[in-house]
């Protein structure tokens, strides 16, 4: 399931976050790459232990907790602390797949990456190229969203970032371990939850049909959830 999640950060929040990270000490993005990714990756990244990176990551995590659509779609169990990258001058990231297990260096933090996320932090009119292209059953899906909007997609997907030929593309990226490992099961739960919310909006939360459908949702979640 590939889903766009609008307005994770509003305009003011994007400006505050960019004020924190833009002047920070960016390094070669391959500092955190595995052997396969290092062959395809050309960008810059903030070191995750940098105070500015930690402050910005906390801003993103707080915003995610206030975004019901993210919670409904991802059913998050663990979220890797958000990282930040930028592309300019023809930089790109060739076709690759994200690692199945993510570790934080120097800690005991370990998680399975079920979902990948990209939170766009640059106005799309300010740069050319830089599309996130995700391969799925329907062919390549090209994504370039307004600043503050996010795309969520299976971490098992082959994906790439096209060359940035003008301007600078800045984004946050991270991974989620979902309570529900299976992507198809997450999609069923998301569709059911969306339907329940639509019926509730028309007939009220106390409607017997809403109560029964809510019960079905939670019983399926109980059956499929790891936690």
Residues 102 and 139: beta-carbon distance below 8 Å: no
To the nearest 10°, report the CA torsion of 18, 6, 131, 104: 60
CA distance 135 to 137: 7
CATH code given to domain 183-224: 4.10.860
Place of tokens 């640059």: 122
222 confidence band (pLDDT: 50, 70, 90): very high
SS3 55: helix
Rounded alpha-carbon distances, angstroms, from residue 198 to 122, 150, 192, 193, 201:
33, 23, 10, 9, 5
**pLDDT tens-digit series, residues 154-185:** 999 999 999 999 999 999 999 999 999 999 99
Mean residue pLDDT of the chain comes to 94
**pLDDT tens-digit series, residues 95-131:** 999 999 999 888 889 999 999 999 999 999 999 999 9
CATH top class, domain 3-178 = mainly beta
Q: What's phi and psi for 73, nearest 5 deg?
A: -80, -40
**pLDDT tens-digit series, residues 46-101:** 999 999 999 999 999 999 999 999 999 999 999 999 999 999 999 999 999 999 99
The residues facing 132 across adjacent strands are 143, 161
pLDDT at 42: 93
Domain chopping of the chain, boundaries: 3-178, 183-224
Residues 83 and 28: beta-carbon distance below 8 Å: no
Judge whether residue 31 has pLDDT over 80.
no
Enter the pTM of the model. 0.93
- Find, among 169, 171, 133, 139, the residue nearest to 153 by Cα: 133
Place of tokens 């391969």: 135
């Amino acid at each position: 399931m590939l889903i766009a999640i609008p307005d994770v950060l509003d305009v003011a929040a994007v400006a505050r976050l960019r004020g924190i990270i833009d002047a920070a000490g960016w390094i070669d993005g391959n500092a955190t790459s595995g052997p396969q990714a290092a062959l395809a990756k050309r960008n810059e990244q903030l070191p995750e232990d940098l105070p500015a990176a930690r402050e910005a990551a906390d801003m993103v995590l707080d915003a995610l907790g206030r975004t019901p659509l993210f919670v409904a779609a991802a059913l998050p169990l663990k979220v890797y602390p958000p990282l930040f990258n930028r592309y300019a001058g023809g930089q790109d990231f060739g076709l690759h797949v994200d690692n199945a297990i993510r570790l934080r260096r120097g800690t005991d933090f370990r998680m399975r990456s079920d979902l990948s996320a990209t939170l766009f932090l640059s106005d799309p009119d300010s740069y050319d190229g830089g599309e996130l292209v995700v391969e799925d059953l329907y062919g390549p899906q090209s994504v370039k969203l307004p600043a503050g909007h996010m795309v969520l997609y299976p971490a098992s997907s082959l994906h790439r970032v096209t060359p940035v030929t003008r301007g600078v593309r800045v984004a946050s990226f991270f991974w989620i371990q979902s309570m529900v490992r299976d992507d198809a099961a997450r999609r069923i739960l998301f569709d059911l939850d969306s339907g329940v919310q639509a019926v509730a909006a028309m007939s009220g939360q106390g409607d017997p049909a809403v109560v029964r459908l809510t019960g079905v949702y939670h019983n399926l979640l109980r059956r499929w959830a790891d936690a």
